[in-house]
Amino acid sequence: MSFASFAEFIAMGTHGPYVWAAYGISLAIIGLNVALPLLARRRYLQDEARRMRREESK
């Protein structure tokens, strides 16, 4: 462990705001890149199933 306490870990020397801003932005972008395709797939499958049911009932 490179830090003596949790408070020191958060402070990152004097560089806390820089380190945490960089990590925060990056993790948010990574999360978005995973979540959006998953949601799009879900929506597509539901729409497509509805369309197929409509065509069958005709």
Measured in whole angstroms, how far is the alpha carbon of residue 33 from the centre of its chain?
6
Does residue 42 interact with other proteins by CB under 8 A? yes
Out of 4, 7, 14, 54, which residue is the one contacting other proteins (CB under 8 A)?
14
Measured in whole angstroms, how far is the alpha carbon of residue 50 from the centre of its chain?
28
Minimum CB distance to other proteins, residue 31 (Å): 11
CA distance 33 to 19: 21
Does residue 10 interact with other proteins by CB under 8 A? no
Residue 28: left (phi > 0), alpha (psi -120 to 50), or beta? alpha
Does residue 31 interact with other proteins by CB under 8 A? no
Give contact residues for other proteins (rule: CB under 8 A).
1-3, 9, 12-16, 18-19, 21-23, 25-26, 29-30, 32-34, 37-38, 40-42, 44-46, 48-49, 52
